[in-house]
Structure 1
């Protein structure tokens, strides 16, 4: 199906115009095609018809047709020639729009793309279909426009045709183009956002009155996005703008001890401020100045007045050096004298900020609020537009603060008078030396023990008391006061308990406190002057070191074992120490050291036992303490004893050997789990050998046994002749036996 628009030939039709009325119902093309009206067509007017053509009919050009059926006076079969017939395929209508932009230095400041410059937009609309388009227009899409000024208004500039006779030139034949233009003036808000983005829309009508549209594409953008899927790219037109002019101001302050009182920032000292303004933008900034912000100044004296120091250039010929090319800097300085009111206010710092101001080539102001380069806070709230940070400059002023130093040492004292230094009952005498190391008086100095650091096991921490030094400078008759350089001494005593001795040392620290003339607390943690470690972690501010005071007790564990024996005439043969008699051994272990010994045991030494019977097995008898809570009494505090006993039955072999010798071993552990031992000594043996070199005798226990009795047979008397003296010989025999008996009895001797 084709759609045809035509007008009757005026000359041919004029002959019947006066008698014609009504509308055509059917028009037949001479070569057999039919044209059917789609709407009523009056005489000498444009009409639209649906046309069916055979393949042999051309798609354009003039067609001859005859009226197949007309009303009134138009005869059937009359031929009419129609000129300017347009045949167009339905659905072959399309349009495309390209939009480009160029930035113009409209304000003549030498910078293209800043506020006041113009963007010149060019819109080219092209009929990309095969049918003509009528009444083509171009307009900006307000929803896609990111500019902050007025929306551009495209105006037809050139191209196009007047196909519909409306004398506008806004119709487009296939492949024909028309051009529109528009301008936009850049405003400061556009510069801040860095670019302007927008798109336009072109629209035209088909011969049937249906709209055909397209969204603009930027031909310079190769992205070629196609959001409407029409096969043509639709990249928005993006115009980058010149970065705005910008300056950055850094302000630092340094205080000096101008009054030479040893305190930087006290009354009379001078603060020197340095201001450095830098052009951080792309264009020159003119007539740069720096001034202090009075509202932010916390000093009580006159507001600092910055004065030019160095840098900058005279670009505008005004005989100053206050202009800055991009990247160039200029420096100002100012001074401020700290007042007594600043110090008395107890404020920690004097705070202030400055502002740098200049103008660009168009006299547009450019400014920045100062930032302290030494302050890493980098706050941005309230900063000038585009500023990275604007931390105020804070200069610490020197309240002459008090400063104290505390040294603490400890010495062991043999308080229990036992000749052993560092055992239970002895004392540690602490000395605390306090020095005012600052430049002002410190009042009400006091020293106390830091309970959390004290490792003693006694019922209370060391008792501190003032000893000497210092002065009553405030007249309060209380804790002493210290002028700079003065010292005072506090002392303390701590009585050792056995648990302290067992752990081997006592560690503690003290704290000194006072107040300065502003009632500010001054304090220090003690340091042990004899300790070269000089730890600083956890020390008070300014302290060089704070080593805790460690008092080593340095006493070793030791035990001593004495072993005695006693033999009993168990077999009642009248001989003590004969076979069958029982020997009772007694073992006494004594803690001769200064620390507790745990789990004490006694065993016989098999290698040193000379008996021929069973080795004695010592069994607990009495004494000792259950210090470790293990349910026995095998622990010994210093000086404490525990007793064991064992028995042994004498054998014939022991009697034959003449004695029994043996030794026992006592063992235990000290508080660190290290072994402690001793070999037994016989207290009845004065030899006092020291086999293990421990300074104590280690004589073995020796028991001498009696020898067994030995009987000799009587001598044989020879026979003599009977002389009648038998009685005499009998008497002599008895006498001899008596003598011999005496001799035999002399052989028996007892050894005990």
Structure 2
């Protein structure tokens, strides 16, 4: 092997006609056998953006030597490559000048993105094709290796929302159910999801379908919790105070596949606080009739908060007596709290004119005393004045002696 051999044979006859022995000569010319191939791998894709993405690959193998190559193999660790064209004569040899084309498609895995590349943490999808074959003398043709590297776009993002079916806050102890949803809007899984709510304890109720503890691409996790309205929420006209709303802000955070933070999002749900302020005022006296000037008439005034919010700056105005708060402000906060009843007392001294005029109003025959009570709502607005009138009959006895 390895030569071009040419043998010549010469024969003839002697003068007597007998044949001469054949004379041979062989000439060997060394052969220069060059078995070479080149391989190029390519793809029409420009980047990796999502799991399930189809990445088409093409490998072209050309015979660049002067001898046919047999037993051609194309090895690809990611893709099964299939011969699609090139073996024109069907002899299963890569003949001189031939170019064979192999094709295959890779389906991007979620792990490729979550691991930030393949190989791990490289930021790229790297695919290498190895092409080999046999020379005519069955020796190995030098291996041709070609690599295609595609940049990987890893986008870690999520959305956060909070909702409640309750539209207004109107009473202490009112239960306000909240639903918090966290959705993966990127292309990588998010780990270490933490939902923080300063007002309620949230519980994951659904969403982690595969139970891997990661917010996978496209998953939505749902958390639930319930808040019980406090009297202070209403008395302070909201939480924060003076806002007019029950404002509940939830935050959520997580981590990217490489362990770095995925950021923190916040979402606030505002529910209006409705102030229903009302007073009940009653004025009474233990005296049942007026009989003489100088008579002492004791009055008791009760002011009860019948609404849903504390009332400040309570003012009791009685034109006939000086009133003093006797009891009711149990916590000493100077606010008429919900359900509290404040009691005021005062005494009137009957005048001679009350009797001489048969009363102190156009309505004859009674001693009329009207009290007016006012106050302010938690939002600072003045409440409508509430009045109560107490009439005590006069016993007028006109006598004379002569």
In the superposition, the TM-score normalised over structure 1's length comes to 0.31
* Separation (CA, whole Å) in 1 of partners of 2:116 and 2:328: 76
User: Who is 1:69 aligned against?
Assistant: none
Alignment of structure 1 residues 287-686 onto 2, 5 Å: 343-344=117-118, 346=121, 397-412=151-166, 422-443=170-191, 445-449=193-197, 451=198, 461-474=199-212, 479=213, 481-503=214-236, 504=238, 505-527=245-267, 548-567=268-287, 577-604=291-318, 606=319, 615-625=320-330, 628=333, 634-655=334-355, 656-657=358-359, 658-681=365-388
* Separation (CA, whole Å) in 2 of partners of 1:511 and 1:398: 29
Alignment of structure 1 residues 170-249 onto 2, 5 Å: none
* Separation (CA, whole Å) in 2 of partners of 1:257 and 1:665: 84
2:47–2:151 Cα contact (<8 Å) kept = no
* Separation (CA, whole Å) in 1 of partners of 2:327 and 2:273: 31
* Separation (CA, whole Å) in 2 of partners of 1:430 and 1:585: 51
2:190–2:255 Cα contact (<8 Å) kept = yes
How far apart are 1:524 and its partner, in Å? 4.6
* Separation (CA, whole Å) in 2 of partners of 1:584 and 1:484: 78
Give the secondary structure class of the aligned counterpart of 2:171: coil
Deviation track 1:257-308 (CA, whole Å, cap 9, x = no partner) reads: 7367459xx9969xxxxxxxxxxxxxxxxxxxxxxxxxxxxxxxxxxxxxxx
Give the secondary structure class of the aligned counterpart of 2:173: coil
How far apart are 1:586 and its partner, in Å? 1.0
Deviation track 1:518-568 (CA, whole Å, cap 9, x = no partner) reads: 4444355243xxxxxxxxxxxxxxxxxxxx222222224333322123327
* Of 35, 39, 46, the match for 1:258: 46
How far apart are 1:499 and its partner, in Å? 2.2
* Separation (CA, whole Å) in 1 of partners of 2:220 and 2:269: 20
How far apart are 1:643 and its partner, in Å? 0.9
Change (3 A) 1:342 1:579: closer
How far apart are 1:465 and its partner, in Å? 1.0
User: Who is 2:29 aligned against?
Assistant: none
How far apart are 1:512 and its partner, in Å? 2.4
* Separation (CA, whole Å) in 1 of partners of 2:187 and 2:276: 49
* Separation (CA, whole Å) in 2 of partners of 1:260 and 1:399: 6
Change (3 A) 1:428 1:618: same
Give the secondary structure class of the aligned counterpart of 2:385: strand
Change (3 A) 1:438 1:342: closer
Change (3 A) 1:434 1:709: same
1:401–1:516 Cα contact (<8 Å) kept = no
Structure 2: tracts of 5 or more residues without a match: 1-43, 57-111, 126-149, 239-244, 360-364
In the superposition, the TM-score normalised over structure 2's length comes to 0.55
Change (3 A) 1:522 1:710: same
Deviation track 1:347-406 (CA, whole Å, cap 9, x = no partner) reads: 6799xxxxxxxxxxxxxxxxxxxxxxxxxxxxxxxxxxxxxxxxxxxxx95443332211
Deviation track 1:450-474 (CA, whole Å, cap 9, x = no partner) reads: x5xxxxxxxxx31111122331343
2:282–2:302 Cα contact (<8 Å) kept = yes
Change (3 A) 1:707 1:555: same
Deviation track 1:47-84 (CA, whole Å, cap 9, x = no partner) reads: xxxxxxxxxxxxxxxxxxxxxxxxxxxxxxxxxxxxxx
Give the secondary structure class of the aligned counterpart of 1:644: strand
How far apart are 1:444 and its partner, in Å? 5.0
1:468–1:488 Cα contact (<8 Å) kept = yes
Change (3 A) 1:408 1:342: closer
More strand as a share of residues: 2
Structure 1: tracts of 5 or more residues without a match: 1-255, 270-339, 351-395, 414-419, 452-460, 528-547, 569-574, 607-614, 629-633, 682-699, 714-752
Count of aligned pairs between the two proteins:
264
User: Who is 1:248 aligned against?
Assistant: none
* Separation (CA, whole Å) in 2 of partners of 1:438 and 1:342: 13
2:279–2:386 Cα contact (<8 Å) kept = no
**Greater RCO (CA < 8 Å, at least 6 residues apart):** 2
Higher radius of gyration, 1 or 2 = 1
Change (3 A) 1:617 1:349: farther
How far apart are 1:493 and its partner, in Å? 2.1
Change (3 A) 1:482 1:257: farther
Change (3 A) 1:347 1:511: farther
More helix as a share of residues: 1
Deviation track 1:597-638 (CA, whole Å, cap 9, x = no partner) reads: 22322111x4xxxxxxxx21111211114655xxxxx32211
* Separation (CA, whole Å) in 2 of partners of 1:507 and 1:426: 15
* Separation (CA, whole Å) in 2 of partners of 1:701 and 1:430: 50
* Separation (CA, whole Å) in 1 of partners of 2:159 and 2:179: 14
* Separation (CA, whole Å) in 2 of partners of 1:627 and 1:585: 23
User: Who is 1:311 aligned against?
Assistant: none
